[in-house]
Amino acid sequence: MKVLIRGARVLDPGEKIDGRFDLLLVDGLIAGIKPEIKLEAGLTIKADGLLVTPGFIDLHTHLREPGGEHKETIQTGSQAAARGGFTIICCMPNTRPVNDRPEITKEIINRAKIVSPVRVLPIAAISREEKGQQLSPMAELASAGAAGFSDDGQPVSNSALMRQAMEQAASLDLPVIDHCEEKSLAQNGLVNEGRVSKLLKLTGLPAAAEEIMVARDIILAKDLKLPVHLAHLSTRGSVELLSWARAASVPVTAEVTPHHLLLTEEILLTGNPDAKVNPPLRTEEDVQSLRQALKTGLIDIIATDHAPHTEEEKKAGLEKAPFGINGLETALPSLLDLLVRKHGFPLARVIEALSSGPANVLKLRAGGRIKEGERADLTIIDLEGKTVITKETMASKSCNTPFLGSTFTGSIVMTIIAGQPVYQNKNYANIWFD
């Protein structure tokens, strides 16, 4: 099958591509990237005025299946990912049961092959049942198809166990992703410790709880000379520690979420439990530090930490509602509108952090770049299109986002995997023709 994407602005910072090109897709691969390509037979996508980027990769998604299907399933989460422009998502292991055994990893992969429009890569648990006491069978999990290891939702507090995990993962050439939280400081914390927690009279979650574990992981990576990836950084102190690590050539990478880039703790004064997350939303000073770190490449990746919960669970209020934001479908539109358009943030850095950044951490052989001979995983974007966030427009089973009811400038037009559209925005039905 031949498909020609005609007249788009093609942007792939990882491959240093930014210009008007035609893209020829043949049998699922990128066969040509030229200013003009003629197609005698096949399908054409008229993409004048649109942006084509590598398909997005989310290093941090919670699909809830198995065990939490009332919140999300592999099918609904994957459909949400496709609507959000994601072609690859990495699902975290804190399911029920925990993905700490090869048969569970295989179950997720096999289920995804049947129901998912996007590629699903399971992240397996570092420790048995995520209890931080005994290492999971990492080699067996890797053989079953695990793309990396994390106890996300829980920190690996035992430093000796974390060291063993880093050594074992490195031998398997797979990443270790750590949820940085010092539990004795963080226990019972609900929102960021500071002015807002005092006004709300809620137990605070101190920045130090994150920063202590960030420092621990950096020290281990420095001593072992082995990589570690830091999940969802949220504080200025974490950025300062990361800066020191990079200056010392420590092999550490890091991610930041859209909500930590766009929102501050002030939104919690409205009492909206959809803005309750862990790590919590922090101060304006923290947000500015995170943005600068992303702009300079100190933070490598934007990851959604898509964490769906039911409306009933979130209605329990700030004290009792679970932590988590639904993020796959709002990530790109909110970033385009509130970060790129409003604050002049470089578009290329956003695209790079959603594509080649996570591809590099995962060491993917396919995905995250636009290059001849590579698989055609692409996202088509209208920078001037409108995205309305409502319960009715979302594919996810849950809609726990403080962006509910928002209209953003910037929309996903089409998501393509191996040359085949897996999502097309109904507002752009006329861009296909023979």
Going by C-alpha positions, the residue among 118, 70, 66, 73 that lies closest to residue 97 is 66
Please tell me the predicted confidence (pLDDT) of residue 433.
65
The percent of the chain in helix, strand and coil, each rounded to the nearest 5, is: 35, 25, 40
Hey, is 181 helix, strand or coil?
coil
Question: Does 426 lie in the same domain as 349?
Answer: no
Mean pLDDT of 394-418: 98
Q: CB-side exposure of 24: number of CA atoms within 13 Å?
A: 16
pLDDT at 1 over 90: no
* 284-296 vs 347-354: helix crossing angle, rounded to 10: 80
Tens-place pLDDT, residues 91-132: 999 999 999 999 999 999 999 999 999 999 999 999 999 999
Question: Does 207 lie in the same domain as 195?
Answer: yes
The Cα–Cα gap between 310 and 9 comes to 39
On the question of a cis peptide bond just before residue 402, with omega within 30 degrees of 0, the verdict is: no
The Cα–Cα gap between 87 and 85 comes to 7
Q: Which two tokens stand for residue 17?
A: 């591509």
- Spatial neighbors of 5 by CB under 8 A, at least 6 apart, are 22, 23, 24, 25, 44, 45, 47, 52, 378, 380
Tens-place pLDDT, residues 219-247: 999 999 999 999 999 999 999 999 999 99
CATH number at residue 102: 3.20.20.140
CATH number at residue 406: 2.30.40.10
In a domain, 369, yes or no: no
- Per-residue CA distances from 135 to 41, 140, 151, 168 (Å): 55, 12, 11, 10
Q: Which two tokens stand for residue 50?
A: 């649109």
In a domain, 44, yes or no: yes
The Cα–Cα gap between 370 and 51 comes to 13
Mean pLDDT of 138-147: 98
In a domain, 251, yes or no: yes
Please tell me the predicted confidence (pLDDT) of residue 275.
98
pLDDT category at 434 given cuts 50, 70, 90 is: low
Please tell me the predicted confidence (pLDDT) of residue 122.
98
The Cα–Cα gap between 354 and 257 comes to 11
In a domain, 367, yes or no: no
Q: Which of 305, 337, 377, 382 is catalytic?
A: 305
Hey, is 393 helix, strand or coil?
coil
Question: Does 228 lie in the same domain as 314?
Answer: yes
Question: Does 330 lie in the same domain as 218?
Answer: yes
CB of 51 closer than 8 Å to CB of 11: yes
Degrees (nearest 5) of the Cα angle 89, 4, 358?
Answer: 20
Burial grade of 41 (CB within 10 A; 0-12, 13-18, 19 or more) = exposed
Domain containing residue 416: 2-52+374-433
In a domain, 89, yes or no: yes
CB of 289 closer than 8 Å to CB of 216: no
Tens-place pLDDT, residues 180-193: 999 999 999 999 99
What is the widest separation between alpha-carbon atoms in the chain?
68
DSSP for 327-367, please give it: -TTTHHHHHIIIIIIHH---HHHHHHHHTHHHHHHHT-SSS
In a domain, 268, yes or no: yes
pLDDT at 22 over 70: yes
Please tell me the predicted confidence (pLDDT) of residue 97.
98
Question: Does 282 lie in the same domain as 149?
Answer: yes
Mean pLDDT, all residues of the chain = 97
Burial grade of 123 (CB within 10 A; 0-12, 13-18, 19 or more) = buried
- With tokens 């304006």, the residue in question is 284
Question: Does 379 lie in the same domain as 410?
Answer: yes
Cα radius of gyration rounded to whole Å, the chain: 21
Question: Does 146 lie in the same domain as 288?
Answer: yes
In a domain, 427, yes or no: yes
Q: How far is CA 5 from the centre of its chain?
A: 26
Question: Does 401 lie in the same domain as 261?
Answer: no
Please tell me the predicted confidence (pLDDT) of residue 431.
83
Question: Does 187 lie in the same domain as 44?
Answer: no
Please tell me the predicted confidence (pLDDT) of residue 355.
98
Domain end point (choices 318, 342, 362): 362
Q: How many domains does the chain have?
A: 2
CB of 214 closer than 8 Å to CB of 205: no
Going by C-alpha positions, the residue among 432, 433, 341 that lies closest to residue 386 is 341
Domain end point (choices 333, 362, 391): 362
The Cα–Cα gap between 309 and 399 comes to 8
pLDDT at 206 over 60: yes
Question: Does 387 lie in the same domain as 282?
Answer: no
Question: Does 421 lie in the same domain as 348?
Answer: no
Q: How far is CA 213 from the centre of its chain?
A: 21
Domain end point (choices 314, 331, 362): 362
Question: Does 328 lie in the same domain as 182?
Answer: yes
Judge whether 286 counts as a catalytic residue.
Answer: no
pLDDT at 41 over 80: no
- With tokens 């050594």, the residue in question is 167
Percent of the chain whose predicted confidence (pLDDT) is above 70: 100
- Spatial neighbors of 111 by CB under 8 A, at least 6 apart, are 65, 74
In a domain, 148, yes or no: yes
The Cα–Cα gap between 178 and 84 comes to 25
Please tell me the predicted confidence (pLDDT) of residue 76.
98
Going by C-alpha positions, the residue among 194, 351, 152 that lies closest to residue 280 is 194
